[in-house]
């Protein structure tokens, strides 16, 4: 524990204070910045997966993220909200010690931080969420194929809990008010979307307010884990509809569309827009997509529908060439994806992910204009 904050970490917060220490030269401390290496993160998640008999890589990543962010955010936010002090929290300023199963145990800092002089939540929490949480979420998502919105929902659940607890402990301090502003704001002050906007909703049931997350953490993908008490799902989706439990997927999207919406079927002489044959994709030896065969016709609007964790995001990343398939073949306009150059493919296919990289101050018009990059290049003019 950092001695300067020992008085805060008593009573209901007693268990959290020991998670923070000043650097003391001990062995085994990992610089948090190293967690941005995809291979290192994948190895950490692989070790952590050993806690479960039937691990799903996305659920494992979600569970590990909850361990990491709760250990980090509960004590550091309490210091921030109650005492108006900020620890140095950018990834390059923090070290972490992991237990044998890769769970985080203790975070290490060069100094005990400084007083906060912030006029809004952006100034108060910028280093924490932009300099630590956001890049780490990107790393976890890249290593596991877990959608970033699930990871942000995990963070939001923790933050909302801490803000409420600190309000009960110390009242409406400036930090608590900024915390409430953070959770109630759709945008950061520089115009970027705020992924922590309203992560929790309160529903009325049996005369009481029931706390529910907006986004499920996907823990149910691990058979030994059940839905948590704040899960937005009413029940666990059937196993035969889950991504990793599916033994065989073979779809023709035309057969899934209502008859009145169908145009004439694709003939053998017609080249499909996308054509997949026996496509599979796996992360850490766990299959997210298995034996997928389908054709996507030209000239149609096609929707991809499935419950959380069924592999929709992984499938779209395969089509966008953001991830290579583990097996099988994918063709676009009759050519294997590997036969297209980057520029040729980018001129044909546009992909907008759910979570985009941090782009401070970028307007919607500028984001759309990026779709013209394959034509005009880095120095050309937008048309």
The CATH number of whichever domain residue 319 belongs to comes to: 3.40.50.300
Q: Are residues 217 and 253 in the same domain?
A: no
Q: Are residues 329 and 209 in the same domain?
A: no
Q: pLDDT: is 23 or 237 the higher one?
A: 23
Q: How confident is the model at residue 241 (pLDDT cuts 50, 70, 90)?
A: very low
Q: Are residues 212 and 282 in the same domain?
A: no
Q: Are residues 202 and 249 in the same domain?
A: no
Q: Are residues 216 and 324 in the same domain?
A: no
Phi-psi region of 25 (alpha: psi -120 to 50; beta: other; left: phi over 0): left
Q: Are residues 262 and 335 in the same domain?
A: yes
Q: Are residues 185 and 333 in the same domain?
A: no
The label of the residue with tokens 């009481």 reads: 208
User: What confidence score (pLDDT) does residue 369 get?
Assistant: 78
User: What confidence score (pLDDT) does residue 368 get?
Assistant: 79
Q: Are residues 301 and 176 in the same domain?
A: no
User: What confidence score (pLDDT) does residue 382 get?
Assistant: 62
Q: Are residues 128 and 273 in the same domain?
A: no
For residue 280, tell me if it sits in a domain: yes
Q: Are residues 148 and 274 in the same domain?
A: no
User: What confidence score (pLDDT) does residue 351 get?
Assistant: 86
For residue 306, tell me if it sits in a domain: yes
Q: How far apart are the first and last CA of the chain?
A: 58
**Domain boundaries, position 312:** 241-351
**Residue 345 burial (CB count, 10 A):** 16
Q: Are residues 8 and 141 in the same domain?
A: yes
Domain CATH for 58: 1.10.510.40
For residue 375, tell me if it sits in a domain: no
Q: What is the pLDDT of residues 105-133, one digit of tens each?
A: 999 999 999 999 999 999 999 999 999 99
For residue 232, tell me if it sits in a domain: no
For residue 357, tell me if it sits in a domain: no
Q: What is the pLDDT of residues 139-150, one digit of tens each?
A: 999 999 899 999
Q: What is the pLDDT of residues 268-323, one digit of tens each?
A: 445 688 989 888 888 766 777 878 888 888 878 888 887 766 778 888 889 999 88
For residue 261, tell me if it sits in a domain: yes
Q: How confident is the model at residue 251 (pLDDT cuts 50, 70, 90)?
A: very low
Q: Are residues 131 and 193 in the same domain?
A: yes
Q: pLDDT: is 229 or 101 the higher one?
A: 101
Q: What share of the chain is helix, strand, coil (3-state, %, to 5)?
A: 40, 15, 40
**Residue 323 burial (CB count, 10 A):** 18
Mean pLDDT of the chain: 85
* DSSP state letters, 223-265: TT----TT-S-SSPPPGGGSTTT-S--B--HHHHS-GGG--SP
Give the contacts of 112 (CB within 8 A, at least 6 positions apart): 2, 4, 5, 22, 85, 87
For residue 178, tell me if it sits in a domain: yes
Q: What is the domain count for the chain?
A: 2
For residue 371, tell me if it sits in a domain: no
């Amino acid at each position: 524990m950092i001695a300067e904050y020992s008085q805060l970490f008593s009573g209901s917060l007693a268990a959290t204070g020991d998670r923070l220490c000043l650097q003391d030269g001990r062995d085994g401390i990992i610089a948090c910045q190293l967690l941005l290496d995809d291979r290192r993160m994948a190895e950490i998640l692989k070790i952590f997966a050993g806690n479960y008999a039937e691990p799903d890589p996305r659920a494992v990543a979600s569970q590990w993220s909850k361990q990491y962010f709760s250990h980090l955010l509960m004590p550091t936010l309490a210091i921030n909200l109650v005492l108006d002090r900020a620890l140095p929290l950018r990834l390059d300023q923090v070290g972490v010690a992991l237990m044998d199963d890769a769970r985080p145990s203790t975070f290490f800092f060069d100094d005990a931080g400084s007083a906060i002089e912030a006029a809004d939540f952006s100034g108060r929490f910028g280093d924490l969420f932009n300099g630590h949480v956001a890049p780490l979420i990107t790393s976890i998502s890249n290593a596991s194929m877990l959608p970033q919105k699930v990871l942000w929902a995990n963070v939001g659940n923790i933050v909302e809990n801490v803000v409420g607890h600190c309000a009960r402990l110390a009242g409406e301090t400036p930090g608590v008010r900024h915390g409430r502003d953070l959770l109630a704001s759709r945008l950061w002050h520089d115009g970027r979307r705020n992924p922590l906007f309203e992560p929790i909703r309160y529903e009325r049931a049996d005369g009481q307010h029931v706390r529910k997350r907006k986004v499920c953490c996907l823990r149910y993908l691990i058979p030994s884990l059940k839905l948590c008490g704040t899960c937005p799902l009413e029940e666990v989706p059937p196993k035969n509809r889950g991504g990793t439990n599916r033994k065989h997927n073979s779809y023709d999207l035309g057969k899934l569309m209502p008859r009145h919406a169908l145009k004439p079927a694709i003939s053998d002489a017609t080249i499909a827009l996308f054509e997949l044959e026996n496509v599979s994709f796996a992360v850490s030896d766990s299959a997210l997509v298995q034996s997928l065969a389908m054709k996507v016709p030209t000239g149609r609007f096609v929707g991809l529908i499935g419950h959380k964790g069924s592999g929709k995001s992984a499938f779209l990343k395969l089509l966008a060439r953001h991830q290579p398939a583990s097996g099988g073949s994918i063709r676009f306009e009759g050519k294997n994806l590997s036969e297209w150059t980057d520029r040729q493919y980018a001129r044909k296919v546009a992909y907008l992910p759910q979570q985009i990289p941090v782009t401070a101050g970028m307007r919607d018009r500028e984001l759309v204009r990026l779709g013209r990059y394959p034509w005009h290049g880095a120095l050309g003019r937008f048309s």
